[in-house]
Amino acid sequence: MKTICLKRLAIVLATLILSTGPLPAAEQQRSATLATHAVGSLYNAIGTGIATVVSRHTPMIVRVQPFAGPPAWLPSMNAGETDMGVLTSADAVTSYKGIILYKKPFQNTRILVVGGALQLSFYVPKEAPIETVADLKGKRIPTDYPGTPIVMLSSTAALATAGLSYNDIVKVPVSDLQSGAQAFMEGRTDAGWHSVGSPAVEEANARRGGVKFISVIATPEGAKKMGEVYPGSYPTIIKAGSATGVPKDTAVLTNDIYLVAAKEFSDEAAYNTVKTLWEFNQELGAAYPALKAWQRERMVSKNAFIPYHPGAIKFFKEKQSWPKEMEALQSKLLAQ
């Protein structure tokens, strides 16, 4: 009789375990890291906003880790030691394939969501007689960017739209984006290079008595030259008055921004992160201006350059936002 009771107890316990399913994500991962560019950059503002909302609405605490740029943290993500990160589609595809600026492929990176678009150009004092990148010939421009080499590539692409290269300007070597911004505020350069809406440009605007972004050459030929130098980039127009430093319609270099995760990031944690960004999307944009463009309809992109995370795919399928074309694209990207 005692043996029968024990067997029955074992069956009951097994049934309870099976009925409850796997442990919730909160039990599996209670903290995560999110890598960004340096403090003061647009990427850091984006990462901080995402970390705050995800930490507020899930049991997982997300800690932001600032770096000079993706080359500094992609190796640790490739080793599964960094959980999430914010980077452009250009950084994503070139690092994933190990091309151009990346000599080694980092293929552990997976998309959680495609966010807003990164819009970049040179900016100058608002009273400067400089209106387009063509006017930068012979001017002092920040260069090198060993901490964020993708910046050198993107700024080179902007100059290329006007048929210019770094041989046509006076080079002022800087280590990273923030060093370049500092050089401009100190008057050591005639122009800075940064993203529209970044805190660094806001600071420069306040300290230098006003700044303005200047236009890339957005002709079909200019766009072609841009894309040849900087894969995945394209020119777009920012409307006058829509951001600091945009007194008139201005053409800028544009590419997409990804929130990515390591392949080893648990499916449950990835699912809950994407779910939070979807369900609290209005809160995300209302509280953090840099995240206003991170809309639900942009999260799944048919132009993605690297694979999505399985946990993200699970959520998008539940929301019927993962069309059949994405299955083919995902398979293609995984086979690269």
- What local confidence, expressed as pLDDT, does residue 28 receive? 59
133 with 216: CB under 8 angstroms?
A: yes
Judgement on whether residues 209 and 317 belong to the same structural domain of the protein: no
Range of the domain at 150: 119-255
CA-closest candidate to residue 62, choices 106, 25, 93: 25
Q: So what's the pLDDT on residue 12?
A: 39
Report the range of poorest mean pLDDT among 6-15, 36-45, 285-294. Answer: 6-15
| End residue of a domain, out of 230, 255, 280 | 255
pTM score > 0.75 for this model?
A: no
Q: Which amino acid, one-letter code, is at 68?
A: A
Where is the domain boundary, 239, 255, 271? 255
Residue type, 220: P
- Cα separation, 278 vs 299, in Å, equals 9
Residue 131 domain flag? yes
In this model, does residue 149 exceed pLDDT 60? yes
Give phi and psi for 264, each to the nearest 5. -80, -10
Residues 126 and 237 grouped into a single domain: yes
Rounded percentage of the chain residues whose pLDDT exceeds 90: 72
58: left (phi over 0), alpha (psi -120 to 50) or beta: beta
Averaged pLDDT for residues 181-191: 97
Backbone angles phi, psi at 110, to 5 degrees: -135, 140
From 193, 225, 255, the end of a domain falls on 255
